[in-house]
C-alpha cells in the first residue's frame, strides 16, 4: 500500500460529498500519487453518485503539497476555520499567577 483517500457521503444531503483524508507514505510522495488518488476518486464519484453537486474538503494553510493539489483540481476557499494554539507552559504560568482564582 502506497496511499489512500476516502470520502464521506450522507444520503440525507445527497448534493454534498465530503472529501476526507488523503495520505501517501513518505517514500512514495512527490510522484503524482496524491493528485491521482483524488482525481480518481472524483471520477468515481461522478460516475457512481450523479446526485453530488459539490465536493467539500479541508486543507491546512501550512500543507503546501495538498494546497497545490486542491488548487489544481479546482477547489476554492469556502469557509475558513482558524485553530488557536498555546504552549502548556504559558497556561501553567497564567494559572500560577492567579492561584487564588483557580485553586480547587
Q: Which of 4, 6, 31, 92 binds ligand COA (CB under 6 A)?
A: 31
Q: Which of 22, 41, 42, 70 binds ligand COA (CB under 6 A)?
A: 22
Q: Judge whether 21 and 5 are in contact, CB under 8 Å.
A: yes
* Cβ-closest position to ligand COA: 34
Shortest Å distance, C-beta 67 to ligand COA: 8
Distances in Å between the Cα of 20 and the Cα atoms of 9, 44, 57, 101 are 10, 15, 6, 42
Task: For residue 66, state whether it binds ligand COA (rule: CB under 6 A).
Answer: yes
Quick one: CA dihedral 40, 44, 47, 49, positive or negative? negative
Q: In this structure, how many other beta carbons lie within 10 angstroms of the beta carbon of residue 97?
A: 10
From residue 34 to residue 63, the character string flagging contacts with ligand COA as x (rule: CB under 6 A) and all else as - is xx---------------------------x
Going by C-alpha positions, the residue among 25, 103, 16, 94 that lies closest to residue 57 is: 16
Nearer to ligand COA, 76 or 99 (CB): 76
Return residues touching ligand COA (CB under 6 A): 21-24, 29-35, 63-66, 68-69
Amino acid at each position: 500500500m502506497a496511499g489512500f483517500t476516502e470520502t464521506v457521503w450522507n444520503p440525507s444531503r445527497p448534493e454534498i460529498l465530503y472529501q476526507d483524508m488523503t495520505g501517501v507514505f513518505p517514500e512514495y510522495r512527490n510522484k503524482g500519487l496524491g493528485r491521482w488518488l483524488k482525481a480518481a476518486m472524483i471520477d468515481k464519484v461522478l460516475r457512481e453518485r450523479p446526485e453530488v453537486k459539490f465536493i467539500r474538503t479541508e486543507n491546512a494553510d501550512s500543507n503546501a503539497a495538498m494546497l497545490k493539489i486542491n488548487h489544481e483540481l479546482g477547489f476554492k476557499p469556502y469557509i475558513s476555520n482558524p485553530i488557536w494554539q498555546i504552549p502548556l507552559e504559558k497556561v501553567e504560568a497564567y494559572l500560577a499567577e492567579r492561584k487564588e482564582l483557580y485553586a480547587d
